[in-house]
Amino acid sequence: MVGAFCGRKPYPTQNVLGAIDFDLKFTYILSDWKGSAHDALVLKDAIERPNGLKIPQGKYYLVDAGYSTKVGFIAPCRGVRYHLREYSERSPTDYKELFNLRYSSLRTSIERAFGSLKGRFKILASRPFFPFCTQVDLVLFCSILHNFVITNGGDDLILFEEEWVNQNLSQVGRSVREQRDEAREWLQKRELIAKDMWANRRV
């Protein structure tokens, strides 16, 4: 049973999916998956829930390299530099690198939000002895309090990868070809965004 909670880290964890806005407030949290669950499976569950993650009309989410580019979600370009520190000594040399650089700059927001959440509520950084269902509620409760603090002020507002996993990810009523075509369309969308960034970069 403990093994199901062990993912990339050597100790039991939860896999928490969070969406945030530019104020570092959580707009969506899903916290009831064990640490070994693949990120793509957790995202699929979040989208398919009746009151799950919704994509605002005409918008999309930036997701990290653990996900794939698909309808409403854009991941970084693969096979090129990805992290901010990789650009410290050499500027982007093409549109994909420029896209990843700007993407990575925005991605720090999610890291800051989770860092602030865990810094503010130390119980989330510990290894709790509570039952799993209680741990799930703790994440949700702390996220709500985090948003409350940001909205209402306080002296601690900020503390300081293209293929989907094929197993268990088929969408009911839609063919694999339809899903592949949609993913291809969104990859092309990312290409257009990246090329536009490159064409309009400041020299």
- Residue 161 confidence (pLDDT) above 80: no
At residue 14, the pLDDT reads 80
End-to-end CA distance of the chain: 55
Q: Which amino acid is at 73?
A: F
Residue indicated by tokens 């580019």 = 69
Q: Tell which wins on pLDDT, 182 or 203.
A: 182
Full residue range of the structural domain in which residue 43 is found: 2-199
Q: How many domains does the chain have?
A: 1
20 - beta bridge partners?
26
Distance CA 63, CA 78 (A): 13
Q: Tell which wins on pLDDT, 9 or 72.
A: 72
Residues constituting the chain: 203
Helix (H, G, I), strand (E, B) or coil at 53: coil
Distance CA 101, CA 197 (A): 11
At residue 121, the pLDDT reads 87
Looking at the chain, the whole-number percentage of residues with pLDDT higher than 90 is: 18
Encode pLDDT of 66-79 as tens digits: 888 988 999 998 88
> b/e map of 88-114 (b: 16 or more CB within 10 Å)?
eeeebeebbbbbbbbbbeebeebebbb
Angle at 105 between CA 165 and CA 98, to 5 degrees: 80
